[in-house]
Structure 1
Amino acid sequence: MLVGLLVLPVVCTVGVSVRDSADWLLTEPVDLGDLGTPQRSRILAADNSLIATFFRQNRVDVKLKDIGKNVQDAVLAIEDARFYQHGAIDAKGTFRALMSNLNNGDAEPAQGGSGITQQYVKNLLLVNADSEQERTEAIETTKGRKIRELRYAIAVERTLTKPEILEKYLNVTYYGDGAYGIEAAAQRYFSVSADKLTLNQAATLAGVLKNGNLYNPRRNGEGALKRRNLVFDRMAELGWITPQVAEAEKKKTLRLKLKETPNGCTNSKAAFFCDYVQREILTNPIFGKTPKERERVLWLGGLTIRTTLDWKVQKAAAKALRKHVPEINRDKKAAAEVLVRPGTGEVLGMDVDRALGDNGEPGKTWINFAADQDHGTSIGMPAGSTFKAFTLAAAFEEGMPIGERITAPSGYTPTGFRDCKGRDASDYKAVLRNSAESEGGRSFSLLTGSWHSVNTFFLKLEKRVGLCDTIKMAKKLGIRRADGRPLTENPSFTLGSNDVSPLRVAAAYAAFGARGKYCEPIVLKRITRTDGKNIPVPSAKCEQVMDKGAADAVSHVLRGVLTKGTGQGLGIGRPAAGKTGTVDDYAAAWFAGYTPDLAAAVWVGDPRGGFRHKMRNVCLPTFCGGTVYGASIPGPIWQDTMEAALRGTPESYFRRPPSEFFSKGSGEDSVKMPDLRGMKVDEAIRRLSALRIEFRVNPVRVFDDEYKDGEVADTDPRPGESIDPGDTDLLVTLTVSKGRDPAHGDDHGQPPPPGDTPFETRRPRA
């Protein structure tokens, strides 16, 4: 108070009394309690392991009880030995220093007089400065700044105890090399926590406090040693350690064990997932009204951000992507994959086959091809035939049976289409064709048309269902353009002409796996502030957007894609469904597939532009020389990922669709019953098995004069009759001859043949 009264008349307005000056000094600043130390935020996986840290200042606040006594004694000895004896101002030290500094004018102070409380205030104002002007004001060498510090110091001493002030001081101060606070400094220089620092280590860090840049132990070992030794001399002078201990410690060399704390996503093992989380916080108003507020909460708020990431799934995706499309490849192709848990919206894995970094460096990119533009700057890519699933879903939602058949022409001019505003969306000049000429002019069911991914079939199906109904179904399943613009409503919608992200496709297919329950993709589970309170996070907003039976019908059809369709051979050893996607003119290739437990979408293309750099004559480690289809590279990436991600997980099964979806049969192309007469039973069964149908055999033994004993005399169905391969309850009756009837004579006294053989069940061979 004495020092304040001495100085205030000099710095205050003329005419203000000393009494008023004293009142002003003792008035508590109203904004003092609003200031806190910037903290580093952590992004954690679902198992609470670290994904990444974010900070402007690398700081982790710790309680005083978690800061070793060695540290407290060393800091007090060199900075403010009388801290527990004086108030906000150490009158002796401050008066002595102030008089000396006033005589020196505004030049660099000849000596300091700030106690720990004042230093805490100065550092607190500095770390909370938002502008260069505020930073300058916080450290400027003027009487005005000193008086401001005194005023704040008085307020601090009124509201906090001495141990609380010391704790805050040790947490706020800068220790050089990017380490703010004693915990970060202990980890940075010695790779230990603050409560594990030895006396020598504690003295080293205490010495750094005078100037974190000048006495940085990593950059200036000699200067750090001199400061450390000065701390030991001061501790011995105070009687806090013996002279012998001080001398012994001073002889020790400086032994650093440096530990880096990566900042941001670039060094994370899940860099693109991390980047997505970062953008979710920076773009979502739930975390702040303005971009500046959201940036502060992430980089300075000390958040603990728990996410949905599953390392097993993430690592499976990363390995599969780089196996098939390495970071650096001759053709400069890229790949991305997203995996979502059905029924929850939880994104379990997200990766791109590149490192997150400067686009100009080989094998790196800042663009997250897995996400939408607002979460990764990607404008999306056409998804090709993966969109046919949405037309199929719309057809089943309207009650169309699986066996409904449509003739698919070789070429189709889309006329009679209307968008969701009722406008004519026809393209009278275009002739859209199939990817294989052999597919034209044939009749397909919803089953076989999907298996073979017939373009003209789906265009006609889309017209029958309604273009708008198809678009509405896609929207209900979360499909939107990656660039944020409205979906393009034209007949090519079902062929995947809109630019979308793997994230959106994965989430849509996850809804099929969840029997029509769509959930918005989410990556955040819980965000906790430093005070232990939770910040609300976006909800998955799960909703039943499809009839369960219709969704089951979609899964029933898409399962066959992996066994009898364009994705044949991409099974994963458990019930699964999926759809290939080859973009027009081979601009890109996709695969989307799922089980009831996990859904994934894979894109492979060229970041330079797929229509300029097509997926032809591509040579990659697992595919070289030809045209890339959905089953060529994306399919195997999906297969490898799913097998690894689901390894050890119990199998889950799809539901059989309701019987009304089979009102027109199974939808499989019928086959003719072969003529088995005259064959032995085993030979007849092998012939039936070659048809790749499921059947049961009912052998009936009869006497027959025309066929020998053991030969097939007749069948039911009769030779030449149509058989529905999808009939899982097909019963084939084989009438087997027992030879001539003894009643007709000439039986030569032969005993009767053996009795009937039991039922046999045969399934198609692989």
Structure 2
Amino acid sequence: MRLSRDVPRFLGSCALAGVLLAGVLAPVTMGVGVLSNQVSDSVDGISASLATSRQPLVTTVTDRDGNPIATLFDQYRLPVTFDQIAPTMTAAIVSVEDRRFWAEGGVDPKGMLRAAFHDSSGGSTQGGSTITQQYVKNYLINVADRNNKAAQFADRADTIARKLREAKIAVQLGQTQSKQDILAGYLDVVEFSGNVYGVGAAAHAYFHTTPDKLTVQQAALLAGMVNNPNLYNPYTHPQQALERRNSVIDDMVTNRMLAAPDAAIAKAGPLGVVEDGPDIPSSTCMGAPPDAGFFCAYAQNYLQQAGFTADDLETGGYTIKTTMDPAASQAVKNAVEANVPTAQDGVANTFAVISPGQQTHEVLAMIANRNYGTDPARGETSTNIVANAANVFGAGSSFKIFTSAAAMEAGKAGLDTPLPNQAGQCFTPPGANKYTPPYCIQNDGVNYPNPISLRDGLATSPNVAFVNLEQEVGLPAVLDMARRLGLRNTLTTDELGGTPDPRSPNDQYNEPQSQYFQNKLSFTLGDSPVSPLEMANVSATLMSGGVWCPPNPILSVTDRDGKPVPVKQQGCEQVVPPGLANSLEAGLSQDTISGTSAQAAHAAGWTHPDIGKTGTTQFSESVAFVGGVDNYAVASMVFADGSHPQEICPGTPVHLGNCGHGAFGGTVAAPPYFRAFGQLLAGKPDIPPPAPDPAYLNARR
């Protein structure tokens, strides 16, 4: 007699079910050593891991007041406990996935045999897995092995060894956890579609609700999706999703968890999902508000440098409270955009604010007219143009701060020291030979005195006086001072603001700036790439009595359980004596009164005592204002950032062009400072800069 073609399949399926049952219930008597060896030795470890349920969670980044500004995640998951899940949801998932769940152990022998018989008969495949087994499988795929494609493939493989391991873990889990915890754990780990994991995230993404408020219709739709999230996606396959939802509702009636009249009403309703969903927040800092994107990106990078991995931040469920001041950030953002609109062609306006201190330098704002993103047409950039040495044209004469500080430290000059200051002069560069051309410069204007005091020079910024002083002090000392005061990362970059390439034959690109400028007198005129954030920190160092601290964006980090997580911080350093720092502050205190930004300050109605130094590059492709007021250290830089850089022209708005006499630091970079801090300091008492130390009024040669 000829056997039906289904008989061997039936016998094989029964054999598989028998092996699985024997393997779970009596592994010692199996007598299949090879199979036992294939079962992972990590069963106990996986069971323990499931018990602690350390799934990837969303990390939340906040401002200093605790307001969320961004989320970081690999899997969008909002964890819930059993009592936070509506009975409609537990009823729906049990009805469709495992109606014997509440009565069975970790595995269901009847279900296995039923599935084996059903599969062998040629009908649609039935898995025979309990919710506990599915919990194990989904945990392995979505948590334990989520970064290992080969392991995930093995977790899905239709092999006896895989199913035996899964069943063994499920039995252990059933002996150590309550049914409620297993069901909640399963509903936390399972994928619904795309990047939505767990019923908490699904309730929000599809219905803008929470799991405890899910209706029968909503719960049935979600329960139906877990079997095949792509096929039953209500946005891409609405008809299949509707039919699946209604089938789940029927299962709830069959399982006596829903009355037939209520089921009929539920099935008659629409899918009811949110429009244009699922509504999933951005998983990166590019989803932060316009005034917070660059800050968030800097905080993320800062933590990675402190030892957190990218995966830690995207899965750890941390709460990262940053130092970002929302009031300062918004005021500066408004001022910057009033100066240079977000999508203005070819012009960037960056602005950094730091709070000085001798224990920490907290970053309060990192702003640009550009927003942090990937669409240049909308004025977005994926480069952190506030933190990085992204101003490739330089900060102009604001670098004269470094020459002044080096000269004061060496005793070559004090605030009252007269400096030679011809209208124009040619210099022999350090290390020059007879073939080296002279370095010739001139002052921008004809009304400078000769000589001029260092104090007046800081206010009015003659080029010749400071190149003379730089040559006398020596470039190594000036460069070292720039590093000490704050340009720690800037000076490690090349002449494009990037990482030096040792393969390049050009010194501009194979050497860091700290080496490249050792023989170039143009350094004090600020013609090299610079970080706006680090220039603000230069002011913060002076305003902290000569104490440098790294620009710190982090107030605290707590883990998913609310416990504090330590963050390794680089220590602060006393880089120049307090007397020198105070004296240099005093020397910088005239810029908005009688110096290069005085006219703009008067036009803005600015009356607050402060410190400042403007900068303008030779062809006005970059202008800067670096300074500080009260407890705010600032740097505002406006520079050409397009593929065809040109002269920057003042106006409303600031723009590129050929305007004959282009922008200056005082006329274009300083106004956002006056606008923002005029608002922030309104009604507050002034804090004047410190008086100079007599030891730094005159040269000590």
* TM-score (ref. length: structure 2): 0.83
What is the letter of the counterpart of residue 432 of structure 1? Answer: I
Which residue identity does 1:565 align to in structure 2? G
Helix, strand or coil for the counterpart of 1:600? strand
| CA-atom RMSD in angstroms | 3.3
Q: Is the contact between residue 605 and residue 615 of structure 1 (CA under 8 Å) also seen in structure 2?
A: no
Greater CA drift, 426-435 or 176-185: 426-435
Correspondent of 2:84 among 66, 71, 88:
66
State the alpha-carbon separation in 1 of the partners of residues 522 and 201 from structure 2. 57
Higher helix proportion (structure 1 or 2): 2
CA distance in 1, matches of 2:103, 2:416: 91
Q: Mapping of 1:72-91 within 5 angstroms?
A: 72-91=90-109
Establish whether residue 454 from structure 1 lines up as the match of residue 462 from structure 2. yes
Q: Which residue of 1 aligns with 2:180?
A: 163
C-alpha deviation, 1:584, in angstroms: 2.7
Separation of aligned partners in 1, 2:684 and 2:200: 41
Give the whole-Å Cα distance in 2 for the aligned partners of 1:131 and 1:457.
63
Please tell me the residue identity of whatever aligns with 2:268. K
* Structure 2 residue identity aligned to 1:520: P
Do 1:593 and 1:638's aligned partners in 2 also have CA atoms closer than 8 Å? Answer: no
Cα distance in structure 1, aligned partners of 2:110 and 2:86 = 29
Counterpart of 2:441 in structure 1 is 432
User: Is 1:179 paired with 2:199?
Assistant: no
Choose the corresponding residue for 1:629, options 664, 669, 690.
664
Matched, 1:407 2:415: no
Tell me the residue number matched to 1:730.
Answer: none
**Alpha-carbon separation, structure 1, partners of 2:258 and 2:665:** 74
Deviation sequence 1:368-424 (CA, Å, 0-9, x none): 221226xxxx47442211111122223333454322112201223334858xxxx99
Give the Å deviation of 1:453.
Answer: 0.3
1:355 maps onto 2:371 in alignment? yes
Residues 616/213 of structure 1: CA separation in 2 closer, same or farther (3 Å cut): closer
**Cα distance per residue 1:600-628 (max 9 Å; x no partner):** 1122121247xx73325565525784411
Greater C-alpha Rg: 1
Q: Distance in 2 between matches of 1:309 and 1:158?
A: 48
Q: 1:706 corresponds to which residue?
A: none
CA displacement at 1:649 relative to structure 2 = 5.1
Give the structure 1 partner of residue 356 of structure 2: 342
In the TM superposition, 1:447-596 aligns within 5 A as: 447-479=455-487, 480-481=490-491, 482=493, 483=498, 485-487=512-514, 488-489=517-518, 490-539=520-569, 541-571=571-601, 572-596=606-630
Moved more, 394-403 or 270-279: 394-403
1:274 shift after superposition: 2.3
Paired residues of 1:590 and 1:635 also in contact (CA < 8 A):
yes
SS at match of 2:588: helix
Gaps of 5+ in 2: 1-13, 500-511
The answer to whether the Cα contact below 8 Å between 2:96 and 2:223 also exists between their aligned partners in 1 is: yes
Distance (whole Å) between structure 2 residues aligned to residue 359 and residue 219 of structure 1: 26
Tell me the CA shift for residue 42 of structure 1.
Answer: 2.0
Structure 2 CA distance, aligned partners of 1:523 and 1:404? 39
The question of 1:653 aligning with 2:681 is answered no
Evaluate the alpha carbon distance shift between residue 144 and residue 329 of structure 1 in structure 2; reply closer, same or farther with a 3 A threshold: same
Alignment partner of 1:386 is 2:398 = yes
Alignment partner of 1:194 out of 208, 211, 222: 211
Amino acid at match of 1:396: M
- Cα distance in 1, alignment partners of residues 698 and 438 from structure 2: 37
Higher mean displacement: 306-315 or 532-541: 532-541
1:317 alignment partner AA: V
Counterpart position of 2:141: 126
Mapping of residues 699-710 of structure 1, within 5 Å: none
Partner of 1:321: 336
What is the aligned partner in structure 2 of residue 720 from structure 1? none
Residue 30 of structure 2 is aligned to residue 18 of structure 1: yes
**1:205 corresponds to:** 222
Q: Deviations over 1:242-271 (max 9, x none)?
A: 333333333333322353422323332122
- Paired residues of 2:350 and 2:367 also in contact (CA < 8 A): yes
**What are the within-5 Å matches in structure 2 for residues 179-258 of structure 1?**
179-257=196-274
Report the alpha carbon displacement of residue 322 of structure 1 after superposing the two structures with TM: 1.7
Query: Closer, same or farther in 2 for the Cα pair 1:475/1:251, shift >3 Å?
Result: same
Mark the CA change 1:93 to 1:650 in structure 2 (over 3 Å): closer, same or farther.
Answer: farther
Q: Partner of 2:506 in structure 1?
A: none
Percent identical pairs in the alignment equals: 31
- Report the Cα distance in structure 2 between the residues aligned to 1:649 and 1:83, rounded to whole angstroms: 66
Deviations along 1:511-531, whole A, 9 cap, x unmatched? 122222221112223233324
| Displacement after TM superposition at 1:328 (Å) | 2.7
Q: Relative to structure 1, is the Cα distance of residues 19 and 391 closer, same or farther in structure 2, using a 3 angstrom cutoff?
A: same
AA of the residue aligned to 2:171: I
Name the structure 2 match of 1:691.
none
Conserved? CA contact 1:396–1:553, under 8 Å: no
Query: Contact 1:417–1:424 (CA<8 Å) still a contact in 2?
Result: no
When residues 588 and 542 of structure 1 are mapped into structure 2, their CA distance, relative to the original with a 3 A threshold, is same
Cα drift, residue 582 of structure 1: 0.7
Q: Deviations over 1:723-753 (max 9, x none)?
A: xxxxxxxxxxxxxxxxxxxxxxxxxxxxxxx
Give yes or no for contact 1:513–1:596 (8 Å, CA) kept in 2: no
Is 1:7 matched up with 2:19? yes
Give the AA of the match of 1:273.
F
Change in CA separation of 1:347 and 1:649 when aligned onto 2, cut-off 3 Å: farther
User: CA–CA distance in 1 between the matches of 2:213 and 2:686?
Assistant: 48
Shift of 1:335: 1.9
> Is the CA contact 2:285–2:293 (under 8 Å) kept in the aligned structure 1?
yes
CA shift at 1:494, angstroms?
Answer: 1.8
Q: In structure 2, how many angstroms separate the alpha carbons of the residues matched to 1:318 and 1:450?
A: 28
Q: State the 1:570 CA deviation.
A: 4.5
- Matched residue, 2:633: 599
Contact 2:393 2:617 in 1 (8 A): no
1:581 is aligned with what amino acid? G
Q: Which of 122, 125, 128 lines up with 1:110 in the alignment? A: 125
Q: What is residue 298 of structure 2 aligned with on the other side?
A: 276
